[in-house]
Structure 1
Amino acid sequence: MMSGLEAALAEALSPSWTQRVRVGRDLASFADAPEAAETLVGLLLDVEDTAVTRQTAEALARVGTVAAIRLIALAVAEADDNQADWLQTGVHDVFVGPGGALDVAAACGKLARDPEEAVRRGAADISAWVDDTRY
């Protein structure tokens, strides 16, 4: 019998955008698992449907851990302008609730010292999004 992680990974390449959205939400809690990280970044950069990008970004931002925000930062560093807009929208969706921006900001602060330049660059962009919503 497959674990929840294995089942979600198997469904990540589904042609159905609604199924990929569900996979992004399901995998968000596994952001610190190396086997889920690549799949999550792929969902964040989904070329077929922006809903997958937005919902996966929102799910990861709601998790709010350094590992989850690191994956968004990696995607931001690789995203084209359209993808970046939907990543930003997904992250902003979390700011509606209490404390969401604080968790994301704290994670970005830690990622500012990440050894990978792309992560630092993406985290700086996300941090700017957080600052824009505070004022």
Structure 2
Amino acid sequence: MGGLESALAEASSPWWRQRARAGRDLGSFADVPEVAEVLVGLLLDAEDTAVMRQTAEALARVGTAAAVRLIALAVVEADGSQADWLQTGVHDALVGPDGAPDVAAACGKLARDQEETVRRGAAEISAWIDGTSC
């Protein structure tokens, strides 16, 4: 758990590079409640857009419903500029060398989520995906 604890500590660093690294390193732990809360904070980072973008990209690359759910939650809370950077991060994952084929499937699952906020965010992400030529 040392790596997880270290990444959680970096998530609150005053330096954007460390927060961005934390977002990338924590992506695979999106289903852990305390990590999920930290990741949503990084997705809505008020200090630096690179943190938002890289965290969104990492979560989209993970592609699980738990990971995409966090992006969906952030999208609904985000202002216009933040949403643009989240979209860019998801786009980066989709067009990257390995792509992120599971994002669309995760959005499909999240479209039936109990939480209306998650359904709205997933619909927004689906619209992004539909507009991406990968």
What range is the shorter-chain TM-score in?
over 0.9
The corresponding residue for 1:12 is 11
Question: Structure 2: how far apart are the matches of 1:35 and 1:55?
Answer: 19
Tell me if structure 2 keeps the 8 A contact 1:101–1:130: no
SS at structure 2 position matched to 1:114: coil
For 2:122 and 2:99, the matched residues in 1 are separated by 16
Length-normalised TM-score, structure 2: 0.95
Aligned to 1:41: 40
Q: In the alignment, which residue of structure 2 is the partner of 1:28?
A: 27
Q: Is the 8 A contact 2:61 2:100 kept in 1?
A: no
Q: Structure 1: how far apart are the matches of 2:2 and 2:85?
A: 30
1:37-72 Cα shifts (integer Å, max 9, x gaps): 000000000000000000000000001111000000
Residues 7-42 of structure 1: CA deviation (Å, up to 9, x unaligned): 211221100000000000010011111110000000
Segments of structure 2 that go 5 or more residues without pairing to the other structure are none
Asked if the contact 2:63/2:101 (under 8 Å) is kept, the reply is no
Structure 1 runs (4+) deviating above 2 angstroms are 97-102
Tell me the distance in 2 between the aligned counterparts of 1:102 and 1:17: 28
Unaligned runs of 5+ residues in structure 1 are none
**TM-score (normalizing by structure 1):** 0.94
**Aligned-pair Cα RMSD in Å:** 1.4
Q: Distance in 1 between matches of 2:7 and 2:57?
A: 17
Q: Which moved more, 1:39-48 or 1:96-105?
A: 96-105
Percent identity, aligned pairs only, is 78
**Number of residue-to-residue matches in the alignment:** 134
Task: Determine the C-alpha separation between the residues in 1 that align with 2:35 and 2:84.
Answer: 23
> Which residue of the partner structure matches residue 90 of structure 2?
91
Mapped contact 2:63–2:103 kept (Cα < 8 A): yes
Question: Counterpart amino acid of 1:5?
Answer: L
Letter in 2 for 1:50: T
Tell whether 2:74 aligns with 1:75.
yes
Separation in structure 1 between the aligned mates of residue 124 and residue 105 of structure 2, nearest angstrom:
14
